[in-house]
């Protein structure tokens, strides 16, 4: 392990500086300072990550419970600023009571708000759900549309939500879902210098083969929840440590969990 993390202090300081890059993508700077010293170009690392993640997380999937596109759309709207676990506690009763788009659209506002209150921001979420469901009932014959353009035209539905529905309910890779885990891991893996989700998505769409866009989000989300935590990532036990430029820095600086803590 000592050999794995043996880097000079000057090198660590410079690599830590790279994590704070802002503005446009500076390819030459990244290639010179990250790829050159890390010994592997970004496309090659992505290729190896695409091979490694399915082995590490063979069952990676959307962790929101749903049976059809309508349920997934509702669950995804509820998941904003809320854990999937909490959403999954709320949706069984919700899905039993409201089965069609028209059911949500015609539900009394306060009734729907009370049903989803524990997910937080319940007023704005109820407004989004009722608005989207009314549009689906009136403009799409009660069926959730399966194109990015039509989904984004629904009230309260942004690109992230549309990507979740398209990728997981319709099996269409139209983009990469970028949530807080994907943002964090994309930056730690040095696949982007951006912080804005749509800019990060554009970078990932250039690097990751299209057929893996939906799975890529699942892999990073699962890894973020199980290993690459926001605070004290478990770099000591990380299955893709050799493909991550940040791991050796975190171990050196103490930002990662200590070996003893990671083992417990």
Give catalytic residues, as residue numbers.
160, 179
Instruction: Give the contacts of 261 (CB within 8 A, at least 6 positions apart).
Output: 232
DSSP state of 122: H
Transcribe 13-40 into DSSP letters: HHHHHHTT--SS--HHHHIIIIIHHHTS
d(CA 64, CA 85): 8
d(CA 6, CA 96): 56
Length of the chain: 264
Q: Is 93 exposed, middle or buried (0-12, 13-18, 19+ CB in 10 A)?
A: exposed
Two tokens at 60? Answer: 């990676």
As a whole number of Å, the end-to-end CA separation of the chain is 18
Radius of gyration, CA atoms only, the chain: 21
For the CA atoms of 220, 224, 225, 230, the dihedral, rounded to the nearest 10 degrees, stands at -160
């Amino acid at each position: 392990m000592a050999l794995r993390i043996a880097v000079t202090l000057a090198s660590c300081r410079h690599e830590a500086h790279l994590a704070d890059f802002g503005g446009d993508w500076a390819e030459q700077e990244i290639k010179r300072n990250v790829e050159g010293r890390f010994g592997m170009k970004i496309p090659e690392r992505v290729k190896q990550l695409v091979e490694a993640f399915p082995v590490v997380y063979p069952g990676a999937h959307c962790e929101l419970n749903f049976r059809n596109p309508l349920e997934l759309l509702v669950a995804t709207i509820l998941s904003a600023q809320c854990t999937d676990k909490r959403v999954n506690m709320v949706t069984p009763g919700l899905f039993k009571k409201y089965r069609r788009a028209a059911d949500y659209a015609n539900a009394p506002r306060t009734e729907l708000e009370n049903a989803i209150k524990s997910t937080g921001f319940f007023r704005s979420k109820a407004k989004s759900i009722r608005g989207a469901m009314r549009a689906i009932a009136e403009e799409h014959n009660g069926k959730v549309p399966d194109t990015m353009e039509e989904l984004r035209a629904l009230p309260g539905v942004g690109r992230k939500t549309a990507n979740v529905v398209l990728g997981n309910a319709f099996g269409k890779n139209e983009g990469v879902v970028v949530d807080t885990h994907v943002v964090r891991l994309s930056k730690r893996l040095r696949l982007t210098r951006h912080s804005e989700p749509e800019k990060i998505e554009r970078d990932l769409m250039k690097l990751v083969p299209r057929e893996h866009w939906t799975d890529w989000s699942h892999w990073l989300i699962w890894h973020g929840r199980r290993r690459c935590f926001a605070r004290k990532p478990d770099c000591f036990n990380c299955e893709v440590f050799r493909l991550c430029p940040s791991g050796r820095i975190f171990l050196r600086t103490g930002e990662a969990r200590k070996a003893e803590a990671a083992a417990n």
